[in-house]
Amino acid sequence: MADRLGYQAAFWTMTCPSKYHAFYSTGGQNKKYKGDGVLDGQEYLCTLWAGFRAWLKRNGIDGFGFRVAEPHHDGCPHWHVLYFAPKTQLQKASTELEKRCLREDGGEFGATKNRFKVEWIERGEDEEGRTLSAAAYIAKYISKSIDGHQVGFDKETGQDTQISSERVVTWARTWGIRQFQQIG
């Protein structure tokens, strides 16, 4: 559908401010942590997204996509969003979402590097002959969050995804977090 409409695909990663993270990825305790739990981090992301959705509507950006929620090393959620829209609208939306992700504690160390990332999904083949597509890209994140089938090594957890995916499923069930959500 996106191809027929001539839409571009962007892959956004949104992360909570550091005060939602109990531990650094290196294992040390985060002194900025305020005691918020996993659900507080999820609520932060839901609220941020609701405001952004309203902005999209006000600005006539009617795209569609898919969201995947995953835990960080300390259980704090982060979201991956694959979103399709006309290229100029998608660029405008990406800029707005980044601003919103940095609105709270955006001046803290590492915020501009870690709080929001956008990857523009290309079509075609990579240097190894693998097909590049938005579907293939999001399939990797879905698989990492279900059973890890044919994904291999997960850089964040340092484990094979067939092992780490069990923990992701348990995390989502424990906290009642919807792992997957269609958009539009």
Neighbours of 109 (CB within 10 A): 9
Task: Provide the residue type at 154 as one letter.
Answer: D
**Strand order across the 64-71 sheet:** 116-121, 8-15, 77-85, 64-71, 180-183
State how far the alpha carbon of 161 is from the alpha carbons of 15, 137, 168, 175, in Å. Answer: 21, 15, 10, 21
Catalytic residue positions? 137, 141
SS3 label, residue 8: strand
Query: Looking up tokens 């994904």, which residue turns up?
Result: 151
Q: What is the CA radius of gyration of the chain?
A: 17
- Phi-psi bin for 152: left (phi > 0), alpha (psi -120 to 50), beta? left
